[in-house]
Structure 1
Amino acid sequence: MTEALTRVGEIRTQIATLQDVAAGRTTATAGTATATSAATQQNATQFASALAAATGTDLTNLTAQLPGTPAPGVTTTQPLGGVVGAATTTGTGTATSAPASTDAGAAKGQQIVETAKEYLGTPYVWGGESLAEGGLDCSGLVHLTYSRHGIDLPRVARDQMREGTTIGSLAEARAGDLIIQRGGKHVGIYLGDGQMIHSPRPGKTVEIASITDDRVTTIRRILD
């Protein structure tokens, strides 16, 4: 037992020396680095064997190693000296995180919605596409709103329903998407939360209304 513990102490001293050398080195050739790694692994194995002999504990599955010399199948670094530090890294050894992303289309869609709300209370006028005409029809509201943001859409609902990309359901829709109803005879702008803004029919004004999937012909996303 005494001899084993003495051997453990010697090995620990050797490994500490190797760590100091590795920490102070600023440049190294590939051959030197490989030799250092092999020597470190050999000493680590000897350390584990000696400690097993001294304590009677099977340490076959425990790999003690210097930082930067992982054993096969080991993905965390376990520094010698009894303190284990774990860190998940990329193949280059540098920790990474998912880059923050912004959705310009969603932000623009919200701007579209805010513009459309400026026309709440505007009378329905068939064929109307500007306030100079006294009011707006459904596609006129869409056309005018988008044009104020530099987006030129077709004038009538049946053509607007062919623009952009198809969205499968209201659950996937976002503010600014076009809501097409009655087979292409009516259009509004989605606000979110199951609501759209539209100019419904003669005698009505631009308003916000609740909608459900069963009342939607298609949903079109203009802003990617």
Structure 2
Amino acid sequence: MTVTDAIGRIAQIQATLVQLDSVTTGTATPAASTRSSSGATDFASALTQALGGTGATTDATTSSGGVTGADVVADAKKYLGVPYVFGGTSASGLDCSGLVQRVFKDLGIDVPRLVSGQSTVGTEVPSLAQAQPGDIIVCNGGEHIVIYAGDGKVIHAPSEGRNVSLVDNWLSDSDIVTIRRVVPQASTAASSASSLSTAQTDALRSLFTSMLQGGSL
């Protein structure tokens, strides 16, 4: 459930409780109903602002749900030894972009099927020196894609007659079309989650206190 969904649900519950209370006591009036609806809307709006956003996600990175680059590498390693099959997208056979799509799908993240689409997901990493485990690297003029595994190694489905392999990275920046970061690194994700949780807690505490003092709840 997204923040927006939660906000909407809270507003619905608040409005429903007010309406039920009015019906039970026999005091329901059109004006009271209107105020209830308005109060629920105001509450939802205030809560959204306190949380600092709309809850919307726009790309694979922001919708990764806590998945990190280390998770990507660990999942990719499950497919080591799987034969290269052109157009393959399963453990019985994979091509280069099929491997990338399969790994992210295992982790609950949808990415395009072809290299051309995968080359636009997430955020761009400026150079190989800044690549982190789990980043995907597009090379061969946009015809091939690999998963950076860290420590100067990559995982990829090479070509016909070969298997998915963990190999030394043979690429230089001049060979690379783009490097994409689809999910954050573990330390970054943990730090962001921690600071966001603290900020949200403080904002909610302040919001509910002010609303209770003002008789809005």
Higher relative contact order (CA 8 A, sep 6+): 2
Shift of 1:106: 9.5
Partner of 1:183: 141
| Rounded Cα–Cα distance in structure 2 between residues aligned with 1:107 and 1:125 | 27
Aligned residue in 2 for 1:113: 73
Give 1 or 2 for the bigger CA radius of gyration.
1
- TM-score normalized by structure 1? 0.50
Structure 1: state its 5+ residue gaps: 1-103
| Structure 1 residue 183, shift from structure 2 partner | 1.8
**Equivalent residue, structure 1, for 2:116:** 158
**Equivalenced residues, count:** 119
Aligned identity (percent) is 45
User: What is the deviation of 1:167?
Assistant: 0.5
Contact 1:196 1:208 in 2 (8 A): yes
* 1:187-206 equivalences in 2 (<5 Å): 187-206=145-164
Structure-2 separation of matches of 1:201 and 1:222: 24
Structure 1 residue 160, shift from structure 2 partner: 0.3
> For the structure 1 residues 193 and 107, does the alpha-carbon distance in structure 2 shift closer, same or farther, using more than 3 Å as the test?
farther
Provide the residue aligned with 2:188 in structure 1.
none
Give the 3 Å change call, closer, same or farther, for CA 168–144 of structure 1 in structure 2. Answer: same
Change (3 A) 1:207 1:106: farther
Letter in 2 for 1:223: V
**CA distance in 1 between partners of 2:108 and 2:135 (Å):** 16
Return the offset for 1:140.
Answer: 0.4
Alignment of 1:210 onto 2:168: yes
Matched, 1:127 2:87: yes
Alignment CA distance shift 1:127-1:195 (3 Å): same
Q: Is the 8 A contact 1:123 1:204 kept in 2?
A: yes
Structure showing the higher helix proportion among its residues: 2
Q: Cα distance 1:139–1:122, how it changes in 2: closer, same or farther (>3 A)?
A: same
1:159: Cα distance to partner? 0.8
Question: 1-side partners of 2:165 and 2:127: how far apart?
Answer: 22
Secondary structure at the residue paired with 1:217?
A: strand
After TM superposition, where is structure 1 displaced by more than 6 Å over at least 4 residues in a row?
Answer: 104-107
Q: Return the alpha-carbon distance in structure 2 between the equivalents of residues 215 and 106 of structure 1.
A: 31
Please, which runs of 5 or more residues in structure 2 have no aligned partner?
1-63, 185-217
- TM-score w.r.t. structure 2 length? 0.52
Alpha carbons 2:67, 2:107 under 8 Å: kept: no
- 1:38-187 equivalent positions in 2, closer than 5 A: 108-131=68-91, 134-187=92-145
